[in-house]
Amino acid sequence: MNNKFIITGTDTDIGKTVFSAALMLGLEEAGYSPHYWKPIQSGIEGSVDTKFVQDITNLPDERFLPEAYIFSESLSPHRAAELDDINIDMDKLENVANIPKCDGDMIIEGAGGLMVPLTRDNLQINLYKKWDIPLILCARTGLGTINHTLLSLEAIWSRDMPLKGIVFIGDENIDNIRTISEFSDVKILGHLPMLDPLDDTMLRLAFANNFNIKDFV
């Protein structure tokens, strides 16, 4: 049975894309065939996230699935879509039959945080509820993460959505991780530190040292 995960975050610029790349490599090392899909890409300056993950993992083209929507500006999807004069078809997007098919596992990276608007009347979390795919919540380790993470968990719990666990990203902060774990009783999947250099070798090593592949398969 193929695994599917939605990589979401407590905020934007959490590090979801870097963790997605690390998980791709972790699954690859374990003998799986992971695929990456970013349904909605807001912002094309520099590089889109799909290209970034492909470049940093050095995995083949067929492991990367085309976006459903790409918008020019790095803004909330609802506003980026308006500026590009594009309509996000929520009925089509919510239909699980329209999720790309692949021969292997799928890592789906969301746009920003859970409560980001996709349209003027629909939040991203509503899309995830329709899909009913297990979430991996990425959170910062630093100041403010306790509040942001517990609020995000409340939103997930109130909608009775499947949650695989929490991934922390950033400099080590043992007490913040412990506090969130004790208040939430949610599985802590691991901690991805800041990496320098940020390349496939470092990502493979960081995943092997900080995560247990059995939690993802």
Question: What residues act catalytically?
Answer: 38
* Cα separation, 159 vs 155, whole angstroms: 7
Cα angle 68-78-95, degrees, rounded to a multiple of 5 = 40
* Cα separation, 112 vs 156, whole angstroms: 15
* Cα separation, 53 vs 34, whole angstroms: 12
Count CB atoms within 10 A of the CB of residue 163: 18
The two structure tokens encoding residue 24? 């791709």
